[in-house]
């Protein structure tokens, strides 16, 4: 007897095996996979373009509205200035109170947005990164020290917005130096 007749299960399992795919079926499968891959690539490119566009919009909005918090703080300052001018017609004390309240609000706005005053006091040595020497004057103070502050300087989170504009003591001229200059 042959193997097939002796073992009927073996004969059935050989018949159950899928037939080798034909060249046409393989070509169709390759075309399907290529179409699927191309679709995935197009979706990936579209997704990347959308992310870039959204990032550009968010960046533009960040630049556009960067000062929004500070601007909102300044509205209160403007309101107080307008009230001080409207209510203080002829009354110096009312005007002074209004300006004082306005300065308080401005100081709070500066604090909340990270704007800080650059310290500059008479007798201190000027820091070239934080102080701008506007003039030098003869003074009893040590040469090269701050005599007066002309305009206060400010930083925004450690970055100088405006340096303190200061007057600095200059070295006293000696008779030998002034004779040589003549």
> Of all helices (H) and strands (E), which one includes residue 3?
helix 3-6
pLDDT at 181: 46
The pTM of the full predicted model, rounded to 2 decimals, is 0.58
Q: β-strands 159-162, 153-156: how paired?
A: antiparallel
Please say whether the beta carbons of 115 and 148 come within 8 A.
no
Give residue-wise pLDDT tens across range 10-41.
555 556 666 788 989 889 999 999 999 999 99
Instruction: Say if domain 116-182 classifies as CATH 2.30.22.10.
Output: yes
- Give the per-residue pLDDT at 34: 93
In this prediction, residue 11 carries a pLDDT of 52
Among 117, 82, 120, smallest CA distance to 101 is for 82
> Which residues in 114-137 are b (16+ Cβ under 10 Å) and which e?
ebeebebeeeeebeeebbbeeeee
pLDDT beyond 50 at 99:
yes
What distances in angstroms separate CA 48 from CA 17, 29, 118, 132, 154, one per listed residue? 45, 28, 45, 48, 42
Q: Domain residue spans in the chain?
A: 116-182
Helix (H, G, I), strand (E, B) or coil at 145: coil
Instruction: Give the pLDDT confidence of 122-177 residue by residue, as tens digits.
Output: 889 999 999 999 999 998 888 999 999 999 999 998 899 999 999 999 887 654 44
């Amino acid at each position: 007897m042959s193997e097939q007749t002796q073992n009927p299960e073996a004969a059935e399992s050989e018949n159950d095996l899928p037939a080798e795919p034909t060249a046409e079926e393989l070509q169709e499968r390759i075309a399907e996979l290529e179409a699927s891959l191309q679709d995935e690539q197009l979706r990936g490119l579209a997704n990347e373009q959308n992310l870039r566009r959204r990032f550009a919009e968010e960046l533009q909005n960040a630049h556009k509205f960067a000062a929004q918090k500070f601007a909102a703080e300044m509205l209160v300052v403007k309101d107080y200035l307008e009230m001080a001018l409207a209510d203080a017609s002829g009354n110096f004390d009312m005007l002074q109170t209004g300006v004082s309240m306005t300065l308080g609000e401005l100081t709070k706005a500066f604090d909340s947005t990270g704007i800080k005053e650059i310290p500059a006091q008479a007798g201190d040595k000027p820091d070239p990164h934080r102080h701008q020497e506007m003039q030098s004057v003869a003074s009893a103070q040590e040469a090269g020290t701050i005599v007066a502050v002309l305009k206060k300087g400010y930083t925004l989170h450690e970055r100088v917005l405006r340096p303190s504009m200061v007057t600095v003591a200059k070295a006293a001229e000696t008779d030998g130096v002034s004779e040589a200059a003549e």
